[in-house]
Structure 1
Amino acid sequence: MVLTWGIPSESPIRRLLDELDVLEQPYVAVSQRHFAETDLNLTIDAVGNLGGTLTYQGQTYPLAEISGVYLRLVDDEVLPEFQRLPVDDPLRMHTRRLIQHLSVWSEWAGCRLVNSMPAMASNNSKPYQAQFIQQHGFLTPDTLITNNPDRVMDFCERHHNRVIYKSISGVRSIVQAWNPRTDAEKLALIRHCPVQFQEQVDGFDVRVHVIGELVLATRITAQATDYRYALHQTGESATLAPYELEADVAASCVSLSKALGLNFSGIDLRISPTGEVYCFEVNPCPAYTYYESYTSQPIAAWLAEYLSGHDNYYRRVWNV
């Protein structure tokens, strides 16, 4: 049985459930919004094995029967049902304890897990991730993280104003190109919050989805600085197509994902006109359906096979 935990109507979970249906793989899809109808009781036997039961909407499931787990959690503070609770409502404590139990059980139960909560935390700091990226043979752009406006001006001058900037945290931000005429006036704001500035690297973008040992790569062509917002930034949509990675680059992507403790990841690459491979970051909870909808690549199908332990998964080659 596969367990999904998050918001079942969200497209990454919905697509996974569709593919589990195709495989005729039993699953239970827990909605975070139904936390009042959810409980997770953990037990430890005499030899230290972790077990217990999941109760969800009146049904009880032995945890021992769950062999694959897909976590795509949202902050419980944004849930309408949670926001309506009084500050001293016992359900608030129940919800927090529920997620703590889920984190402990999923990490130690031996299931195929996508992904553990500690592993997903690596994206909270892009500088931390960059150390792993460099250790696995990828180039990274010249980078400045600072809250000092003077250092920013020096950095931009050194790179002839061909610089982009973005958040250093895991919170989604829109990557922007440095504009010396308008952005210099706003630099005083960074004294309140450090910002990451990077040299602008020429080339095309590749999103690599790593699923266990396998990869699916997508080439993105766009005029925008941030292809996710291409229509907004340039008025033209990005173009996405399947892409065949060199075998050594594919292997490095798998190795990097493993080093970060991730069984499923979205790795953002840029390949320069001379073939150099830069890596910007590793997304530990990728919204893969954006890429799948443009290319029909079988990301959800492979993920379902991985979580189900199907033999077909192991017969895949790196690229389709």
Structure 2
Amino acid sequence: MILFYGCRDDEPLSRAVDAAREAGVGHIVLDQNRLAHYDLVFGPGLGDRLRAEGRSLSLDEVTAVYARPLVPPATAGGPTAQARTDAFHRWFTEWLDVAGALVVNRPAAMESNGSKPYQAQLIARAGFAVPDTLVTDDPDEVRAFRDLHGRIVYKSISGIRSVVRELTVEDESRLHLVRGLPTQFQAYVPGRDVRVHVVDGRTFATAVDSPAIDYRYAHRDGLGAELSPCVLPGDVVRRSVALSAALGLPLSGIDLRVRPDGEWVCFEVNPMPAYTFYESHTGQRIAAALVALLAGAHMGGPAPAGV
């Protein structure tokens, strides 16, 4: 049995569920908005069981899980319902790390993105260039770093999504704020952005053309972004697949930029990528590939033809 875990209104999850339905793959959706109505039973003699959406099954029957464990929303029904929601979420996500099933992706594997400087070291080990980086709470160090590189950008250190911005003259008056919040600064890398989704060794590459520093938020600056499928050089494919595997991620979103001189630079690896943004612009069948991976585990071998 395949489980989908997350919020039904989360587009990457809902698209994967639709792809499973289109492929005729049996599944259960565990909606985080309804966790107060579900039960997990653990214990000797009781068996480890899940009761949800009118079904009761042994956790040993679960062969694959696609998990997007977002923070559960506040639950209607008072403190008792909220306590049930919080308890289910905690126990289920802990089970994901030890489950015998295929899990896309295990919470422990996703933790590398919790520290971007740490993850950058893993990226470098996989053979990708990474931008020169400074993590500091000292404004003078930031100024020296900018003087060294000319153009620099800044972003958060953690895995919490942040908008990448270029450090400008106008930011000078706010540099003192880093004393209370260590920030990551990187040398600006010119070139073309490429997002690579890796699904069990398969790659789906999307080129992004945009004048924005962070194309995800180009609209905020009145700018646009054009996305198109592209073909990666063989060595970049191999490094992308190897990097995803080294991080223990059957599904990943790798942010690359190819410099004018042809060098490929890697910024980070997203362990819970919002792949639907890229799929909707390119027609790449990322959700179908994800379901094929899950179905392969469900069938005990390769995914059925046509999935």
Common fold: TM-score over 0.5: yes
- For 2:10, the aligned partner's letter is E
Contact kept in structure 2, 1:37 and 1:58, CA below 8 Å? no
**1:29/1:183 CA distance change after superposition, 3 Å:** same
SS at match of 1:80: coil
1:97 pairs with one of 84, 87, 91: 87
**1:246/1:51 CA distance change after superposition, 3 Å:** farther
Q: Name 1:137's counterpart in structure 2.
A: 127
Deviation at 1:313, TM superposition (A): 5.4
- State how many pairs are aligned: 303
Q: Name 1:222's counterpart in structure 2.
A: 210
Deviation at 1:196, TM superposition (A): 0.7
2:75 pairs with one of 62, 65, 81: 81
**Alignment of structure 1 residues 251-266 onto 2, 5 Å:** 251-266=238-253
SS at match of 1:81: coil
> In the alignment, does 2:136 pair up with 1:149?
no
Deviation at 1:274, TM superposition (A): 1.0
**Alignment of structure 1 residues 15-26 onto 2, 5 Å:** 15-26=15-26
- For 1:139, the aligned partner's letter is A
Deviation at 1:212, TM superposition (A): 1.1
SS at match of 1:248: helix
**1:315/1:176 CA distance change after superposition, 3 Å:** farther
TM-score, reference length from structure 2: 0.93
1:62 pairs with one of 58, 64, 84: 58
SS at match of 1:201: coil
> In the alignment, does 2:118 pair up with 1:128?
yes
Rounded to whole Å, the distance in 2 between the matches of 1:65 and 1:294 is 36
5+ unaligned residues in a row in structure 2: which ranges? Answer: none
> In the alignment, does 2:149 pair up with 1:164?
no
5+ unaligned residues in a row in structure 1: which ranges? Answer: none
Q: Superposition RMSD on alpha carbons, in Å?
A: 2.1
**1:176/1:40 CA distance change after superposition, 3 Å:** same
Rounded to whole Å, the distance in 2 between the matches of 1:251 and 1:51 is 42
Deviation at 1:312, TM superposition (A): 6.4
> In the alignment, does 2:273 pair up with 1:286?
yes
Contact kept in structure 1, 2:4 and 2:13, CA below 8 Å? yes
Q: Name 2:99's counterpart in structure 1.
A: 109
Q: Name 1:204's counterpart in structure 2.
A: 192
TM-score, reference length from structure 1: 0.89
Deviation at 1:93, TM superposition (A): 4.3
Deviation at 1:92, TM superposition (A): 4.4
2:165 pairs with one of 172, 176, 180: 176
1:206-225 deviations in whole A, cap 9, x for unaligned? 10101111111111010000
Calculate percent identity across the aligned residue pairs: 42
